[in-house]
Amino acid sequence: MDLAKVKTFSTDEPIVIKTGDTTLSSKVTGGADGTVQVVPVAGGSPQVIALKDVAKINPLVKWTGSFVANAMITTGNSETENFGVSLNAVRRSEIDRITLAGAYYYGRQEDKDTGKKDTTIDNWFILGKYDYFLTKQLYLYGSTRVEQDNIADLDLRLTISAGPGYQWYETPTFNLSTEAVWRECTSNSKTRAATTTSPRGSPITWTGRRTRRSSSSTTSNGCRT
């Protein structure tokens, strides 16, 4: 649509409008010729925007991500088998970002004297995270992570995190952000029926390009059983 040929317009539902470095999610009402009025969903006074300043309306958003499967088998003095799968998906729009991730790792080792195979790695996790951008770089986020580690005697752990973040650098292949974290952990041990809840606050978390998660790590989120 060529906005140069539009005098004004209105919408029944909120839309995303980008003007310069500002992105608004709002309903639109008609204004004087060449303008519209927007009422931000987050609240605030109506704003008048000149149609000539509108860069994008409802920009197209898409999902990106990766799926990785790996296996390692060794023979010789020891017989080991390690397997893993991981999934990461991100949906990025002008005003928010959704991240979904999950992985499963399994490994076992055979005793050459007895032929017995013992499981050495057996853990999984799923993660959901939502970032809402207040400005181009400042955002608020919330995330939930569920995980289990049979080797570490962890029946189930639920971790809820929230806080503000700042996006320093963002490209299709590399992201760098700083986050202040409020974190609540609830864990169940296989040998202890009681559930423990332990709030943790990591003052700063640096996140960069995703690296391969260690299959034996179960404390990367700062929570311990």
pLDDT digits (tens, 9 = 90+) for 64-112: 999 999 999 998 777 899 999 999 999 998 889 999 999 999 999 988 7
Three-state secondary structure string covering 79-107: EEEEEEEEEEEEEECCCEEEEEEEEEEEE
Average pLDDT over residues 41-61: 78
Domain residue limits, the chain: 3-57, 62-207
Decide if pLDDT at 124 tops 60: yes
Q: What is the pLDDT of residues 171-206, one digit of tens each?
A: 878 889 999 999 999 988 766 544 444 444 444 444
Give strand pairing partners of 189: 154
In the chain, pLDDT over 70 holds for what percent of residues? 80
Two structure tokens written together for 80? 């080991």
Could you give the dihedral angle defined by the CA atoms of residues 166, 171, 173 and 179, in that order, rounded to the nearest 10 degrees?
Answer: 0
The pLDDT tens digits of the residues spanning 204-224 come to 444 443 333 333 333 445 565
> What residues does 165 pair with on adjacent strands?
139, 179
**Average pLDDT value for residue range 25-37:** 83
